[in-house]
Amino acid sequence: MPYRICKSLEIENGHMLTKHPDKCRFPHGHSRKVELVLEADELDENQMVCDFKIISEAVGQWLETFDHALCMNTADPAYQELKSRYGARVIGFENQDPTTELMARTIFEHAAQSLTARAARSDTLYRLAAGVRLVRVRVWETSSSWAEYTPHP
């Protein structure tokens, strides 16, 4: 059984679900907790899967772009107007509603790429061992509801 760790980060994030039949089609926000689970078969030279700081450095700044931002389907009629008005604070999901499930997958894909690049670096104080794997990303929408993305092996 491999060793596993989890790092949680929090953001305030809004979205609107164009295809939703009820209130969620309107802009609304959530206090989101994002959990990133990493594993390794062996511990590193510091007896860790990796230092939690590595996860924060590799993903935290990018995840901050979602903080106080509105995620929208690019096909929504209001998307272009809001994007031109608020710029980077409006994040487009190409012809898809930005459900919590899709946010979990988007975060997973970015985090996996960022951690792979980090493992290739040797010019940093906190090094990531080559055998560390991102297992899943869980995004909490409320205190009682979450969505998770785990790719097939």
User: Within a 10 A sphere around the Cβ of 151, how many other Cβ atoms?
Assistant: 12
Q: Which two tokens mark 82?
A: 């809001």
The residue among 43, 39, 32, 36 whose CA lies nearest residue 58 is 36
DSSP secondary-structure letter at 114? H
Q: CA-CA distance, 74 to 88, in Å (whole number)?
A: 14
Partner residues linked to 14 by β-bridges? 29, 70
- The domain limits of the chain are 3-149
> Terminal CA-to-CA distance of the chain, rounded, Å?
16
pLDDT single digits (tens) 15-71 = 999 999 999 999 999 999 999 999 999 999 999 999 999 999 999 999 999 999 999
Pick the CATH number of 3-149 from 3.10.20.600, 3.30.1360.170, 2.40.30.10, 3.30.479.10: 3.30.479.10
Which of the four pLDDT bands, split at 50, 70 and 90, describes residue 152?
confident
Q: Are strands 145-149 and 133-142 parallel, antiparallel or unpaired?
A: antiparallel
